[in-house]
Amino acid sequence: MQMNNNKIVISTEKLSVAFEDRIVLKDITFQIRHGEFWGILGPNGSGKTTLIRTLLGLVKPIAGNIRIFGYPPDKLGARRELIGYVPQHSQVDFDFPITVKDVIMLGRSGKIGVGRRPGRVDFDAVKKSLEFVNLVHLADRQIGRISGGERQRVLIARALALEPQILFLDEPTAALDVGAADSFYEWLNKMRSSLNITLVIVSHDVGVISRYVNKIACLNQTLVVHGIPEKVLNKENLEKMYGCEAVFFHHGKVPHIVVSEPQQYDHLKGKKID
């Protein structure tokens, strides 16, 4: 499926989500075009993961509209295979005696079908994914015997094995230190460009991720602001996300580090949440 680089592939309009009687997301409206690299930023409890899961159709909104490739998530049909997702908490048992290439093959299970064996096209897709993430040399290694960064690449390769046009990543650098995270984002950006896919990442790494993404969405239950990082990542908008007691260190065009006190803020009511 060839995509026009100016085509809107993800859009929401006044999207709201609630769990029981608690509003988690309210009036979220934005558009993402094919080939863009978006970062979804916000403090813990701001609704970042819920937003991704709602876009995927795993959570049902109470109001508003979502369109993926022009369709609601529950009407995607075969187009769903054009969407890759790497959740924050992987279901892979890293102690299980399974190789890197077999983990990636699991990403093809939907295409292969129940009770069927992989064919040449499936093995070719796995090989291609391994090449994209630069892990061909680890194809036969047991999944638990590789580094944290390499495991993340395996999980991304598993998602890429479906040959998606959109890839969602939820906190992919959570287990990496700052230096490793920086290199990881740089690698992701190069991969996105070479594959010509749309990449949407949930992250806490304000200063690091802002150097690589095209657009930033600052989330704290409502969409505080979204746009080009250099234009929207300022003290005023970051305070709306992280609270007035946050401390911002500037290095270059955007804040490099955000240190926040442990309280969370209810952005809709303007109150601290202990």
Q: Where in the chain is the domain with CATH 3.40.50.300?
A: 8-69+165-273
Q: What percent of the chain is modeled with pLDDT above 70? A: 85
Q: What angle do CA 63, 67, 73 make, to 5 degrees?
A: 80
Kindly report, residue by residue over 48-61, the tens digit of the pLDDT: 999 999 999 999 99
Q: ∠ CA(176), CA(52), CA(20), 5° rounding? A: 115
Instruction: Say yes or no: domain 8-69+165-273 is CATH 3.40.50.300.
Output: yes
* Contact of 226 with 30, CB cutoff 8 Å: yes
Q: Comparing C-alpha atoms, which of 68, 83, 42, 31 is closest to residue 202?
A: 42
pLDDT, tens digit, for every residue of 47-98?
999 999 999 999 999 999 999 999 999 999 989 989 999 987 777 778 888 9
Q: How far apart are the C-alpha atoms of 141 and 104, rounded to whole Å?
A: 12
Mean pLDDT of 115-129: 91
User: Looking at 155-164, 182-191, 204-213, which range is the least confident one?
Assistant: 204-213
Angle, in degrees to the nearest 10, between helices 120-132 and 178-195: 130
- pLDDT of amino acid 47: 92
